[in-house]
Structure 1
Amino acid sequence: MAEAIGLKVDPPRFWDPADLRQETDRIFDVCHSCRLCFKFCGSFPLLFELIDEKTETLRRDYLEAHPEVAAAAARRREEAAAAPPPPEEEHGEVGVTFGDELPELTAHVRDLADGEIDRVVDLCFQCKLCYPNCPYTPPHEFAIDFPRLLLRWKAHRVRRRGVPLKTRLMRDTALIGKSASLVPGLANWSLRNPLVRRVMATVARIHPEKVMPTYYGETFPRWWRRHRPNLESLQPPREGIEPATPVKVVLFSTCVVDYNDPDCGKAAVHVLEHNGIEVVRPAQQVCCGMPFLDEGDLDAAANRLRKNVDALLPWVERGHAVVVPSPSCSLMLREELPQLVATERAARLAASTHDLNEYLYRFAREGRLKRDFQRRFAKIRYHVPCHIRVQNVGIRGRDLLRLVADEVEVVQECSGHDGTWSMHVDHFKDSLRWGKKAFDGMRGLEEETCTLTCSDCGLAALHIRQGSGSSCVHPVMALAHAYGFDIGAPGQFDSKPVTP
C-alpha cells in the first residue's frame, strides 16, 4: 500500500532538500498530466502554464534552428490537403501526422527553477479540495498529497529563511485576540479606519478593503469562567440502539470562537447541556497551530499541538469526547496532529476528536438529541466549508439544520478565505474570484422571510459577508435559537414559532 510522506517530520528524508525536489518533480508532473484540479486555486493553472510555456519555447527554438523540419511539415500538410480524403474506417479514426510532433522537446517540472515553484506554492490557500478529488491519493501507487507537499516546501523555506515579519504579525491569533479584547472598541474602530488600514497594508500587508473580524470585551473564555453548568436530563436512546457516543465532552473552543464569535461558544454549551451532555473547557488549551502550519512553521505548529495533547488527553482518558466548533481546527487535531506529533498519545487524542456538528449528529442518530424546538426557519442556506468536506465525515451541519428548517439549501463552494491568505494585499482580489460561486449561492432574496444563512467556519462566514452581504452563523446557533435560548444580537434571527 503506497503512502505519502505528508507532514511526517520525523523521518530524515522529510528535511532532505534533494528528496523534496525529487518528490515535487514527481507529483507536479502527475498533476500536469492529469489537470483535473485546475479549478480549485491558482497553483494549478500557474503550474500548467509554466511548463507549457517552456515546452512552447523549446519547440519554437528547435524549429527556428531546424527550418527543414518546419518545411517538411508544411509539405506534408499541402500533400494531405491535395490528396483525396482517406477511406472511412468502420471502427475508429485514423490519425494523420505531419512531422512537427516533437515529444522529445516536452518540458517537465525538473525544468522549473525553485523560484517558479515558490510562485506555485504561494498561490495555494490550503482549501485542500484537490485531495478528496484526486484519483491518485494513497493507497494509489502514485501517493499524491498535493496540499501537504506544498506545506513541506514552505517548511523547508522557513528553515532556510526564517519567518517573515508580516507573518509574525498576523499568525498568533490567540495573542491578537487577547490583546484586542482588552480594548475592543479601539480595536474594532482601528480595523475600520481608512488611515489605520493604509498603515496595516504597508506594515502587515493586509488589504485595506478586507473585512476584518470583530473583537469582544466578553470573550468566550471570560463568559465560561462565569458560567454555571445547567445540565438537563438525558433523553434515552431509541429502542434497540446501543448508545456509543460519550455524554461528556471537552470543548476545544478555538481562537475564532474565543475572540471573534463568543456567541457560537455559548450556543454550543447551551445545546450540549440542554441535551444532558456534560461540558468542560480546560483553560490550558491553546491555538490549534493552523496559522503557523499554513505558513510552513512546522516547529511552532507542533509545539502548540503538544500543549493541546497535554491539556485535552487527560479528559479523553476520563471518557470525554473532544468537540470542536471550527472545521479547520478539528481538521488540525484529527489529521495533522498525528503526522506532526507522531506519538501514541497524539494518536489517541486525534481518534477522540470530533467536529461539533458530527458529534451532535451521532447523538441524534442514536435518538438522544431532543426535539423540543420552540422556533423554526422557513429556509436555511448552508455553506459547507472545505475543511469539513476534506474530513470525510458527511455534511452533518445540513443534517442538523433539517431538524429546524422547512428547507435547507446546500452550497458546496469554496469561500476563498483560508486563514490570512485572503487578507494579503497580493491575494485579496484573487480570493474574491475564487469565492464568487459561494457568494452567489449564499446571497438571499429581499422578499424571503424566516430565513437564515449558516456556515461552520467563522472565517468563511466573514468572507461570505464580504462577497455577498449575507451574515452567516454556525449551525449550533440555529439549534440554540430553535430550542428557545436567547442567543445572538437582538433581531439577528428571523424565525417562526413552532405550531403544535
Structure 2
Amino acid sequence: MAQALVEDSGHDTLGQSVGWTSPDYFNEQECLSSMERVFDVCATCRLCLSQCNTFPSLFDLIDESEDSELGSVPKSRYLDLADQCHLCDQCHVGHCPYSAPHPQQIDFPATMLRAKAIKFAKGSIGHASAAGRHHPFSHLAGVPVVAALANTVVGSSAARKLIERSTGIDAQAWLPKLAKQTFLAQERALILAHPTQAPVVADHSLVPRQVAIYAGCYINLHEPEIGQDLIQVLQHNDIECVIANLEGCCGQAKLTKGDISGFAAVARANIPSLLALAESGYAIVSPSPSCARIFTHKLPALFPADTDIQRVKDAFWAPTEYLVALHGEGALRIDFVNTLGKVNYHEPFLGGAHLGIARHTETLLGLVPDTKVNVVKGSPGFGSHWGNQREDYPVAIKLGQRVFRQMAEPADYLTTDCQLTGRQIAWGIEILDLVQTSDKKPELAHPLTLLRMAYGL
C-alpha cells in the first residue's frame, strides 16, 4: 500500500452531514446556511487568501458590504463563489487550522462542491465551469494530419480570437499541442486488458515489482513522451510494466463543474479494470497527480463502503513515491551518468498535498549526483483548466506571480509532477518576462524525464 495514502487517509474532501445521494444535499437554503457558517470562520482567519480566487472574492464581498460584515452580504451571492474553486483541496489539507479535529470541522472544498452541485442541478453553471477539456480539440489527438492542422490553427492569433468567442478560452492562455499519436496507441503492446493470473511478487519485499500505468488524458493526448519516460525508468530498474486498459477518463472535469452523478459514473467505469490489476498484485502508478487523487480520495470519499473502490485506492502510488520505496528496499538503480544541476521544483497543487508527492520527488532527484532541488510551494494561479477562460485568465496570472517569480530564479531545469501546471508556470514566466539570465533559459522537464536523462536512457 502506498504510504502517503495511509498517512492522509483521514482527509475526506466530501465530509458533509448530508450525503450527496440524499435529496437534502441539493436543498439550497441548507447549503447557504452551511456556507454562511464556513464563511464566517474564514472571514476572521483569512489564512488562505493566496490559495485561489475564491478567498479574495469572498473577502471582497465582505469588505465592500454595507458594514464590512458577512451578515451584510446577500446570500444570493454565495453560490457564484463556487465558480472560482477548482477543488484543489489545498486550503483544507494543507492550511486550514479549523478543519477536523478542530470543533469547527471546516471543510471548504466540500462546501464548494455542494454549491457547485446545486448550481449544476439548476442549470446555472458558468462558462468557465462548463469547460471540461485541456484543449478545445482534444478529441482530434492521435490522428497525425488532423492533429498537426489543429496545432497550426491554435498557434494562429486570428484563430485564437475566434476560439475565444466560441469557447470562452482566453486568446492569450496557453494550450497544449495535440499528440500525433496517443500514448495508448504508441504503447499498445503493453496494454493488459484482462489480468487473470497473479504475477510473482518478491517474497522479501513490500513494494510490488509489477507496475500498471494509468496514463490519464493529458499524458495520453498531449505529452505521451512522459509516459514513455516512466516506462524506460521502470524497465531500467527491472520492473515489469503494463498499461491499464481503461474505459475512459477519470471524470475530474465533471466533478469540477458539480456533476457529481456524472463524475461517479465515469470514474466508476474504470474500477473493474483497475481492480483486476490491483488483485493481480500490480502497483498502479499514474504520472498525473490530479488523475491519481480521483481514485485515492475523491471517488473513495463518495463511496466509502465500496470495497472495490477502496482496494483500488490502496494500490495507487505516485511515480516518485514508488521509486523512492524501491530505493528504501535497495532495489533502485542509482547508476546515474548525467547530473542535473539546479532544479526549481514546484509542489503540485492538484493532488500534491493529498499524495505527499513533494518529499518523494525531492528525495528522488536528490539521489542524482551534483543536483540541487529548490522546492517552490504556493498557488500557480491556474487549476487544471481553470484560469484559461477570459474572465479568469488575468486573475490566474496575478495569483500565480509569486510562484512564477520563484520558479524563474536561475536554474538548469524547471519541473513539477503535474506537467500541465508546469507548462502554465513556464507560460507565466514567459509572458511576464521573468527569466533572469538572458544567456540561458531554464528548460521545463517532468521529474520522470529528468530521471530518464540522468540515467542516460
Look up the SS of the partner of 2:374 in the other structure.
strand
Instruction: Name the SS of the counterpart of 1:125 in structure 2.
Output: coil
- 2:435 maps to which residue? none
Counterpart code for 1:379: K
Does structure 1 residue 417 correspond to structure 2 residue 382? Answer: yes
Shift in Å at residue 213 of structure 1? 0.4
4+ long deviations beyond 6 Å:
none
Query: What is the match of residue 215 of structure 1?
Result: 178
Secondary structure of 1:322's counterpart equals strand
**8 Å Cα contact 2:191-2:245 kept in structure 1:** no
Shift of 1:356: 1.4
Matches within 5 A, 1:94-493: 107-109=69-71, 111-131=72-92, 132-161=94-123, 170-172=131-133, 176-182=137-143, 183-226=146-189, 243-342=205-304, 343-391=306-354, 393-395=356-358, 396-404=360-368, 405-445=370-410, 451-469=412-430, 470-485=442-457
SS of equivalent to 1:453: strand
Assess if the C-alpha contact under 8 Å between 2:83 and 2:128 holds in 1.
Answer: no
| Residue of structure 2 in register with 1:99 after alignment | none
Contact 2:140 2:178 in 1 (8 A): no
Normalising to structure 2: TM-score of the pair? 0.85
Q: What is the alpha-carbon distance in structure 2 between the residues aligned to residue 186 and residue 5 of structure 1?
A: 47
- How far apart are residue 471 of structure 1 and its match? 4.4
Tell me if the contact between 1:443 and 1:468 (Cα under 8 Å) persists in the aligned partners: yes
Q: What is the CA distance between 1:173 and its match in structure 2?
A: 5.2
| Residues 134 and 289 (structure 1), Cα distance of their counterparts in 2 relative to 1, 3 Å cut | same
Per the TM alignment, residue 419 of structure 1 is displaced from its structure 2 partner at its CA by 1.8
The gaps in structure 1 that reach 5 residues or longer are: 58-106, 230-235, 486-500
**TM-superposed deviation, 1:406:** 2.3
Q: Kindly provide the amino acid, as one letter, of the partner of residue 120 in structure 2.
A: V
Quick one: structure 1 residues 162 and 299, their matched pair in 2 at CA, closer, same or farther if it must change by over 3 Å? farther
Deviates more, 1:326-335 or 1:17-26: 17-26
Distance in 1 (alpha carbons) for counterparts of 2:261 and 2:191: 38
How many aligned residue pairs are there? 421
Which residue of structure 2 aligns with residue 45 of structure 1? 56
The one-letter code sitting in structure 2 at the alignment partner of 1:21 is L
Alignment partners' CA distance in 1, 2:139 and 2:18: 30
Counterpart residue identity of residue 386, structure 1: F
The equivalent position to 1:34 in structure 2, one of 37, 45, 54, is: 45
Q: Show the counterpart of 2:65.
A: 54
SS of residue paired to 2:269: helix
Cα contact 1:302–1:341 (8 A) shared by 2: no
For the 8 Å contact 2:365–2:371, the answer to whether it is kept is no
The higher-RCO structure (CA 8 Å, 6+ apart) is 2
For 1:44, the aligned partner's letter is F
Report the alpha carbon displacement of residue 256 of structure 1 after superposing the two structures with TM: 0.8
Secondary structure of 1:359's match?
A: helix
Q: CA deviation at 1:167?
A: 5.5
CA distance in 1 between counterparts of 2:75 and 2:187 reads 48
Q: Residue 269 of structure 1: CA displacement?
A: 0.7
Question: Following TM superposition, by how much is the alpha carbon of 1:208 offset from its aligned partner in structure 2, in angstroms?
Answer: 0.4
Aligned partner letter, 1:424: Q
CA deviation after TM superposition for structure 1 residue 153, in Å: 0.4
What secondary structure is seen at the aligned counterpart in 1 of 2:65?
helix
Q: 2:190–2:241: 8 Å Cα contact kept in structure 1?
A: no
Deviations 1:300-319 (A, max 9, x none): 21111111112211110111
Residue aligning to 2:433:
none
**Residues 406 and 173 of structure 1: CA distance in aligned 2, closer, same or farther (over 3 Å):** closer
Cα distance in 2 for residues equivalent to 1:263 and 1:461: 15
Alignment partners' CA distance in 2, 1:8 and 1:434: 33
Tell me the amino acid that sits aligned with residue 428 of structure 1. Y
Question: Structure 2: 5+ residue runs without aligned partners?
Answer: 1-9, 193-200, 431-441
TM norm structure 1: 0.78
- The alpha-carbon distance between structure 1 residues 157 and 119, as it changes in their structure 2 partners (threshold 3 A), is closer
The answer to whether the Cα contact below 8 Å between 1:298 and 1:340 also exists between their aligned partners in 2 is no
Aligned-residue Cα RMSD (Å) equals 2.7
How far has the Cα of 1:198 moved from its partner?
0.9
Could you list the per-position Cα deviations for residues 240-262 of structure 1 after superposition, in whole angstroms to 9, with x for gaps in the alignment?
Answer: x9521111121110111111111
Deviation at 1:112, TM superposition (A): 3.4
DSSP 3-state at the match of 1:267: helix
SS in 2 for 1:291: helix
Residues 218-264 of structure 1 show CA distances to partners (whole Å, capped at 9, x for unaligned) of 221111115699xxxxxx99xxx952111112111011111111110
* Alignment deviations for residues 175-215 of structure 1 (CA, whole Å, 9 cap, x no partner): 94341332121111111111211111111001001111011
Report the identity percentage.
28
- 1:52 Cα offset (Å): 3.4
Task: Say if 1:394 and 1:205 are closer, same or farther in 2 by CA, change over 3 A.
Answer: closer
C-alpha distance 246-407 of structure 1, shift in aligned 2 (>3 A): same
Residue identity in the other structure for 1:184 = A
Post-superposition offset of 1:402: 0.7
Distance across 2 between alignment mates of 1:174 and 1:207: 12
Relative to structure 1, the CA distance from residue 355 to residue 319 in structure 2 (aligned partners, 3 Å threshold; closer, same or farther) is: same
The answer to whether the 8 Å contact 2:32/2:78 transfers is no
Query: 2:174 and 2:135 mapped to 1: Cα distance?
Result: 19
Bigger radius of gyration: 1
